Amino acid sequence: MREKSTETVGTSSPTWETLEAFARQSMQQLLQRLLEEEVDGLLGRRRYERREAVDPAAGYRNGFGKPRRVSLSSGTLTVRRPRVRGLTERFESRLLPAFKRHTEEVGRLLPELYLHGLALGDFDLALRGLLGDGAPLSAASIARLKAGWQAEYERWRTRAVADLEVVYLWVDGIYVKAGLEKDKAAMLVVLAGLRDGRKVILAVESGYRESTESWAALLRDLKRRGLRAPKLVIGDGHLGIWGALTAIFPEAAEQRCWNHRIMNVLDQLPRTRQAEARSLLTKIPYATTREEAERQKQAFQAWCTKRGLAENAKWTLETAETLVRFTQDIFTDPALNYVKHYVAITVSRSNYFSLHKRSSNKSLLGFRMSQTLQDEAAALLDGNNITYVKKPKEFLLTVDKQMIEKHKDVMRSIATLVKKTWNG
C-alpha cells in the first residue's frame, strides 16, 4: 500500500505565535500577485482569458521561471516570475529590479509614507513610493489590490468566534504615530487565551482614544459574534476598558496587566536600582502557586525596606487615585500615567495634573491654567484657605489624600477650569 504524501494543511487564521509568519506569507502572496498583474497589463488579458478574435495582442503565458528570492528589510521572500512567449522582445519584469534598487531607500521613504501614504490611507502613493514611479502598477490594479485587502479584513473582523473556548482576554490600546490630527486614534487590540493554551487575536479596531464608548462598541460586537464572557480580562490602568467591561461582561473578573504594573513600579525607583528590582518583580507573576507569589512579594518588600525604598511614592499614587475618583465624571476617561519622577493624570494623552514626590507624606500638585481663568482659580483656593504658588501658566499646591477628600468640591471646580484650559 502506497504511503500518502499529502500533509494536512492547518488553518490559515493567524494566531499570536504565527503572526510574523502570517505577515511574511501575506507579503509573499502580494508580490506574486503584483508580478501577475504586470503580465496582465502587458498581454491585455487576465490569466485563462481568451485572446481577442480580431487583432489580438502578441504574446502568451508559458508557466513560471525558477523561484526568485527577494530580499527586503523584513526578511527574504520567494516568488515565481511568470514567463511570456511570442513577443518580439524578451519580457523582463520591471518589478523585481525596482525592489532591488529601493530596499536601501526604505528608511529614507518613511517620512514620505507617513505624510502621503499612511497618514491619508492612500496605498497608491505608499506603494509607488516603495516601488518607484516606473513600476508597472496601474490605477485599476491598485484598486483591485485595495479592494482585496479590505474584503479580507472585513471577513476577518466579522467572523464568528462562538466556537472558541476563551478563558482570558488581554486588551490594550496602541497609539499609531501616523497622522497629523490632534487627537490620535488608538488601535484597540483584543488577544484571547483559549482553553487549549493557544492565543488568538480576536479584534483589531480603531477607536477614539481608549474611551469607554469605543471599548464598549468593540466588546459588544464580539459578543454579537458569539464571544462568551471570559473568566478574566487583563489590561492596563486606563479606565475606558473597565467601564466597558462592566457594561458588556459584568461577570468577568478584572486584573491589571503585570507588565504595566512592573513598569509603573520601576518608574518610581532610581535608575541604578531598576535592573535588580526587575529581576525580583518578574518572579512574582511567574510563581507556580499563590503562596510562592506571596513569598516573592515579601522578598521584594524586604529588598525595598533594606534600601530605604519601601514607602517611595506610595502616598503619591494614593493621592492621584483619590483625585481621579472625585473628578472622573468631569473628564473623558482619565488615566494615571506613571513617569520617572511624578504621576500624571492624563486625558487624551495630555497631562492635566501632575503629582511630584516629596520627602514627607505630601505631593506637589501642579496644573496648567489659562490667563483668563487664573483669577477664578485663585479665588477658589483663597476662599478655602488653600496655600498655593502661582506661576505664569501653572498653579502648584501641596496636597495629600486627606486634603483631596476634605476639599473635593474645590478640586472638582479646579478640574472644570483645567478642562476649559485644555479645550481652549
CATH label of the domain that carries residue 328: 3.90.1150
- The pLDDT value given to residue 169: 95
- The pLDDT value given to residue 189: 93
- 144 assigned to some structural domain: yes
Q: Give percent of the chain with pLDDT exceeding 90.
A: 19
- The pLDDT value given to residue 14: 67
Confidence of residue 60 (pLDDT cuts 50, 70, 90): confident
In Å, what is the CA distance from 343 to each residue of 18, 57, 260, 354, 356?
Answer: 37, 70, 14, 6, 7
**Given 272, 290, 306, which residue is the final one in a domain?**
306
Answer yes or no: do 264 and 245 share one domain: no
How many whole angstroms from its chain centre is CA 349?
Answer: 14
- 248 assigned to some structural domain: yes
Using the predicted structure, report yes or no on whether residue 297 has a pLDDT greater than 80.
yes
Answer yes or no: do 196 and 249 share one domain: yes
- Maximum CA extent, the chain: 96
Note the pLDDT tens digit of each residue in 130-166.
554 544 455 565 567 667 778 888 999 999 999 999 9
- The pLDDT value given to residue 1: 47
- 205 assigned to some structural domain: yes
Using the predicted structure, report yes or no on whether residue 3 has a pLDDT greater than 60.
no
Q: What range does the domain containing 262 cover?
A: 258-306
Using the predicted structure, report yes or no on whether residue 248 has a pLDDT greater than 90.
yes
- 146 assigned to some structural domain: yes
- 4 assigned to some structural domain: no
The one-letter amino acid at 321: E
What average pLDDT does this structure show over 7-26?
66
Q: pTM of the entire structure?
A: 0.51
Answer yes or no: do 273 and 335 share one domain: no
Higher per-residue confidence, 29 vs 192: 192
Note the pLDDT tens digit of each residue in 201-216.
999 988 766 778 889 9
What average pLDDT does this structure show over 59-74?
69
Answer yes or no: do 27 and 136 share one domain: yes
**What is the domain count for the chain?**
4
**Given 124, 156, 188, which residue is the final one in a domain?**
156
Using the predicted structure, report yes or no on whether residue 261 has a pLDDT greater than 60.
yes
Answer yes or no: do 192 and 283 share one domain: no
Please provide residue 231's backbone torsions phi and psi, each rounded to the nearest 5 degrees: -70, -40
- 10 assigned to some structural domain: no
**Mean pLDDT rounded to a whole number for the chain:** 76
Write the CATH number for 176. Answer: 3.30.420.10
Answer yes or no: do 236 and 252 share one domain: yes
Answer yes or no: do 223 and 234 share one domain: yes
Answer yes or no: do 302 and 352 share one domain: no
Answer yes or no: do 41 and 147 share one domain: yes
Neighbours of 28 (CB within 10 A): 16
What average pLDDT does this structure show over 388-406?
87
Using the predicted structure, report yes or no on whether residue 416 has a pLDDT greater than 80.
yes
Lowest mean per-residue pLDDT among 54-58, 238-242, 303-307, 374-378: 54-58
Answer yes or no: do 249 and 181 share one domain: yes
Using the predicted structure, report yes or no on whether residue 65 has a pLDDT greater than 50.
yes
What average pLDDT does this structure show over 403-422?
89
Lowest mean per-residue pLDDT among 6-10, 188-192, 406-410, 420-424: 6-10
Answer yes or no: do 34 and 134 share one domain: yes
- The pLDDT value given to residue 249: 94
Confidence of residue 242 (pLDDT cuts 50, 70, 90): confident
- 6 assigned to some structural domain: no
Answer yes or no: do 188 and 280 share one domain: no
Note the pLDDT tens digit of each residue in 168-201.
999 998 876 554 455 556 789 999 999 999 999 9
Higher per-residue confidence, 327 vs 112: 327
- 161 assigned to some structural domain: no
